[in-house]
Amino acid sequence: MKKGNDGGRKSGDFLAGKGFYIILFACIAIIGVSAWILVFTSGVNDTVSPPVVAEQPEPPPRMPMPPPVNEPPRVPTIEDEPAFSPHVPEEPPTEPPTIPPEPPAAPTVVEQPAEQREDVPPATEPREKTVDEMTFVWPVMGSIEMPFSIDMPIYHRTLAVWRTHPGIDIASPIGTRVLAVTDGTVIDVFEDDLMGTTVVIDHGAGLVSIYSNLARTPVVVPGDSVTQGAVIGAVGDTAIGEIREVAHLHFEMTLHGEHVNPTGLLPNR
């Protein structure tokens, strides 16, 4: 009996000492076999076509998640305000400069034959005549009782003095009509202390005629236009300074304010 117990104890010691190596060897064998199977199967799979995999449909787009129901409202901040931009009023459109229309072209004048053309003088303002272009008539017909003498004195019987005589005395009966020597405008009618009733006519071009010793009331007034030969009055006896002379018309003429001899302008008789 004692011998048998020793044999069982030896077998247990052997297993306890050698069992670890047996288990380790069995694990290595299993790993080796697994590696060989893996290598062999990988070579076979290389020749086999991969299985056909059906295309999977694309998943639908994800909808945005709604905000939480209980989320408090967002308070706007200064970043949410639009940037301030000062208002600049628009300038009114500038109108383009007005271009004046071009003047119309001058009409074409067709020259007419000489026998059909009427010689019409161009329309111009009337030109004032010069003294050389004027024609004259005598204011009355009669002899010259006292000549023109502006440089040398002449004896005056009425005044009993020697003095110059700026006109001519034409003998003519009282009541004889006195005529305007040429066209003109009456500029004055007055009573002179020595020469009596006087009429003054402006003929233009600086020429003025003066008629004295007229009857008390002439037939013209200042502003009247008279033509050559028009009656302006009658011979009278209103000249106190020449009352002792024969009945006559005292007649003077001035050119630009200077006395001239009337006989140099009146026609020859």
Beta bridge partners of 191: 197
pLDDT along the chain (269 residues), means of 10: 51 59 79 74 51 57 60 58 56 65 66 57 73 96 95 87 94 98 98 96 97 96 97 96 92 97 94
Identify the pLDDT of residue 158: 81
3-state SS, residue 104 = coil
Identify the pLDDT of residue 2: 45
**d(Cα 153, Cα 161) in Å, to the nearest integer?**
9
Report residue 8: phi and psi, to 5°.
Answer: -65, -35
Domains, the chain, with CATH or none: 134-264 (2.70.70.10)
Q: What is the pTM of this model?
A: 0.54
Identify the pLDDT of residue 168: 97
3-state SS, residue 81 = coil
